Amino acid sequence: MSSDDAYMSFLDKANADLNNGRAQQFQASSTVRTETVDMGVQVPAPLTSVDAFYVSETDEPFEPVTLKWEGASRGLWPDAVRAAAIQASGGGEPGRDESVVEVKVYRVEVGTSRVDYYILALEVEKGLLVGLRAKAVES
């Protein structure tokens, strides 16, 4: 084989679709992967503009979560780990009422030191769980 052929082979490998390698990594990995958005479901606009990070050994951004949940239309939650009610204020706008949004916080272990935190609310009309997810490393 000439050096030109070897160089072309090198370039072909370097320019190969990177997604092929990623797909192989996911298949071979035993790591748990969690979904955050179901197919065919639109993420509520306020969740797409959240610019906040969960601080742990890795500072990870909060990601939108929109999942179909059969119980949501009946006001039922998945088994809760911890629940909290958050007071949503009107932002100081006169004449705007304050409302309470019920959320639940879920801690899901995805490895020996990796954890996903979910802050979720029910969207009863659409049968969805909506909220945010942050990844954390806890050792």
| Per-residue pLDDT tens digits for 17-67 | 655 655 555 454 455 556 788 888 888 888 888 999 999 888 899 999 888
The secondary structure element, H or E, covering residue 72 is none
pTM tops 0.75, yes or no: no
The upper half-sphere exposure of residue 133, i.e. CA atoms within 13 Å in the direction of its Cβ, equals 18
All structural domains of the chain: 31-137 (3.40.1460)
Instruction: Give the residues across from 102 on adjacent strands.
Output: 85
Given a contact cutoff of 8 angstroms between Cβ atoms, the answer to whether 117 and 94 are in contact is: no
Alpha helices (H) along the chain: 3-14, 18-28, 45-48
- How confident is the model over 106-118, as pLDDT tens digits? 888 888 888 888 8
